[in-house]
Amino acid sequence: MRISTNQLFDRSIQSILNNQGNLSDLQQQLASGKKLLRPSDDPVGASKVIRLTEELEQIKQFQRNNDVLTSSLEEQEAVMRNITSSVQRARQLAVQSGNGVMSAEDKAALAVEIGAIRDEVFDLMNSRDASGDYIFAGYQSKSPAFIFDPAAAGNKYQFQGDEGTNELQVSPAVRLQAADSGKTVFEDVFARFKSSITGGTAADSSLKITLQKDFDAFHKQNYDAVTPANNEFEIAVNGAGDQVTVTNTGTGANLGTFNFTSGQPFTFNGMQFTIDGGPGDTVDFELDPPEKKNLAQTLDDFFVALNDPNISQQQFQEGLNDALIGMDNGLERVGAATAGVGGRLNVAESIYESNLDLEIAHKSTRSGIEDVDYAQAVSDLSRQETALQAAQSTFSRVTGLSLFDFI
């Protein structure tokens, strides 16, 4: 095979250029720490690196979301813990006010602290987060969750937010609620269930709820929000005057027969009736519609009762019972919300740790694909330098060959 001078030059130059290119790649790998300088170096590996990098960026965003979520939940938990502490103090004062020997001046003195607690609770219900948004206002977070309207006919402390709840993505499959709506935590709290005498033929009658738990169960089971007539009942004294029968006048259902003595109390599902009457007399009563009051309103109603010098002992006792039941119901709802926050915090922490483990695994896998092995790269660099030097030396010798060298 005959090789021309041009071929010798071309092959020698190409060999030098190839060795210089390989040497340059090795130098870039050592400088950058990456062995994949271009996708063509390892198409499959480059594809895996891109996918792993995208997943790592996604995990990083999940962790940022988790930090925001945790901060929000911790703020909400602190607010509800302070509300619980304040309302528990108010409940202690309420129990103290019911000892039966307190004068109007003593009750007015207690009212000062009750009023301060009411204002504190109202302020806490309008707490803001680090961004200045109202925590319990739902999607209306730029406006206070609750307002005070002294001219309102009913509840003066009113919720004006909505039931919206923001959620944050903390993993590919998990979204966690960042905050609860004030409507759920504070507004949807039932006040004390009540019943009222509405008429009858007996000379005199009275009703007092003595076993609130039993009456609450009866109210929940029998109250009909659709058909008001089904909430009306009749107590009828029998012909002998020694028993009474309770019936639901709306449905006609017989709810039982009980021994009766005129002027002596008897109890029916937590309600104590005292009836002065004889054979054939009746007493009509009904279940009052359930009301909802937030903690601030419950405390305000009790504050008014404490400050009323003309209130009778029986009326005050009713107000006290209303306040105790309202505070207990409110604390129960706040406690449930606090438990929910604690549960979400636990889930967020667990997911955060899982994401950290996944991040470490992804980084390790990506490193194995794209990161350079310095020991191997330095060895390859030394070998490539030797190859380049050999190519350069061979080129100078081959191109120096001439027939004149043999003359």
Q: In this structure, are 219 and 146 located in the same domain?
A: no
Residue 329 pLDDT exceeds 90:
yes
C-alpha to C-alpha distance for 73 and 351, rounded to whole angstroms: 15
Residue 244 within a domain: yes
Q: How far is Cα 73 from Cα 339, in angstroms, rounded to an integer?
A: 11
pLDDT at 21 over 70: no
One domain for residues 70 and 136: yes
Q: Is residue 101 part of a domain?
A: yes
pLDDT digits (tens, 9 = 90+) for 93-126: 999 988 877 888 889 999 999 999 999 999 999 9
pLDDT at 182: 93
Four-residue CA torsion sign, 37, 373, 28, 384: negative
Q: Do 202 and 85 lie in a common domain? A: no
| 13 located within any domain | no
Q: How many domains does the chain have?
A: 2
The residues, any chain, with a CB within 8 Å of residue 136's CB and separated by 6 or more, are 125, 126, 127, 145, 146, 161, 179, 180, 181, 182, 185, 186
**196 burial via Cβ count (<10 Å: 0-12, 13-18, 19+):** exposed
* Residues 265 and 348 reside in one and the same domain: no
Using the 3D structure, point to which of 287, 322, 341 is the last residue of a domain.
Answer: 287
Amino acid at 74: E
Judge whether 149 lies within some domain.
Answer: yes
Same structural domain, 156 and 234: no
Q: How confident is the model at residue 396 (pLDDT cuts 50, 70, 90)?
A: low
Q: Which of 169, 172, 138 is nearest to 67 (CA)?
A: 169
Same domain for 280 and 306, yes or no, is no
Q: Are residues 112 and 144 in the same domain?
A: yes
Q: Does residue 17 lie in a domain region?
A: no
pLDDT at 160: 94
pLDDT at 309: 86
Say yes or no: 110 and 200 in one domain.
no
Q: Is 161 helix (H, G, I), strand (E, B) or coil?
A: coil
Q: What is the pLDDT of residue 297?
A: 96
Domain end call among 236, 254, 287: 287
pLDDT, tens only, 185-218? 999 999 999 999 999 999 999 999 999 999 999 9
Residue 111 falls within a domain, yes or no? yes
Burial label for 243, CB within 10 Å (0-12, 13-18, 19+), is middle
The average confidence (pLDDT) of the chain is 85
What is d(CA 28, CA 115) in angstroms, rounded to the nearest whole number? 74
My answer on whether 172 and 308 are in the same domain is yes
Q: What is the DSSP string of 21-41?
A: HHHHHHHHHHHHSBS-SSGGG
Q: In the prediction, which pLDDT does 198 show?
A: 94
41 pLDDT more than 80: no
Q: Is the pLDDT of residue 392 over 70?
A: no
- Could you tell me which residues come within 8 angstroms of residue 201 by beta carbon, excluding any fewer than 6 positions away? 277, 280, 281, 282
Rounded distance, CA 316 to CA 319, Å? 5
What is the residue range of 348's domain? 56-190+296-356
Whether the predicted pLDDT of 24 surpasses 80: no
In a domain, 383, yes or no: no
Q: Which residue has the tokens 């590919």?
A: 172
Give the residue from 287, 310, 335 where a domain finishes.
Answer: 287
* Cβ contacts of 220 within 8 Å, gap of 6 or more: 193
As separate numbers, helices (DSSP H) first and strands (DSSP E) second, the chain gives 8, 12
Could you give the CA distance from residue 182 to residue 125 in angstroms, rounded to a whole number?
Answer: 7
Q: Do 83 and 173 have their domain in common? A: yes
Assess whether 163 and 230 both reside in one domain.
no
Q: Find out whether 313 and 321 touch, Cβ atoms under 8 Å.
A: no
Residue 392 included in any domain = no
Q: Which residues pair with 146 in a beta bridge?
A: 159
Residues 317 and 181 in one domain: yes
Mean pLDDT of 14-40: 58
Q: Is the dihedral of CA 214, 215, 219, 222 positive or negative?
A: positive
Find the CATH number of the domain harbouring 107. 1.20.1330.10
Whose tokens are 């955060």? That residue is 352
Quote the strand ranges of 201-302, DSSP E.
204-209, 232-237, 243-248, 254-259, 266-268, 271-276, 282-287
24 compared with 324, residue with greater pLDDT: 324
Residue 404's φ and ψ, nearest 5 degrees, are -65, -20
